Amino acid sequence: MSRKPKEPGFEATLAELEELVARMEAGDLPLDEALRSFERGVQLTRECQNALQSAQQRVQILTQRAAGATPEDFTIDPAAAPPPVEP
C-alpha cells in the first residue's frame, strides 16, 4: 500500500518562506538562484494564503454552527483562491 506524502503544515511552510526571505535579503545570491528563490517564495506565499483562507472558512462555519446556522462543507474551491501577492 503506497501512502501519499503528507504536505508540510502551515508553520513549516511559513518557516521555509521566512528562511528564504532572509537569504534573499542578504543580497549575496547569484541571479539564477535569486530567481529560483523568488519563484519558490511566491509558491510558498500562495500555500500560506490558501491555508489561512481554509482556516478562516472553518472558523466562520463553526461560528455559524454555534449560532444555530446550518453546517456547510469545508471544501475549498481552488478557483476561489486569493490572487497572487505582488512583491
Mean pLDDT of 14-33: 95
Query: What per-residue confidence (pLDDT) applies to 70?
Result: 61
What CA–CA distance (Å, rounded) separates 17 from 36? 13
Domains of the chain: 10-68 (1.10.287)
Query: What per-residue confidence (pLDDT) applies to 62?
Result: 85
Contacts with 13 (C-beta within 8 Å, 6 or more apart), sequence order: 44, 47, 48, 51
Q: What is the DSSP letter of 78?
A: G
Overall size of the chain counted in residues: 87
Answer whether residue 82 shows pLDDT above 80. Answer: no
Q: Answer with the residue of higher pLDDT: 8 or 21.
A: 21
Instruction: Give the rounded distance of the alpha carbon of 48 from its chain centre.
Output: 2
Mean pLDDT of 6-18: 90
Dihedral sign, CA of 72, 61, 47, 3? negative
Assign 64 a pLDDT band (cuts: 50, 70, 90). confident
C-alpha cell at 64: 455559524
What CA–CA distance (Å, rounded) separates 30 from 25? 12
Q: What confidence tens digit (pLDDT) does each residue in 28-43 have? A: 999 999 999 999 999 9
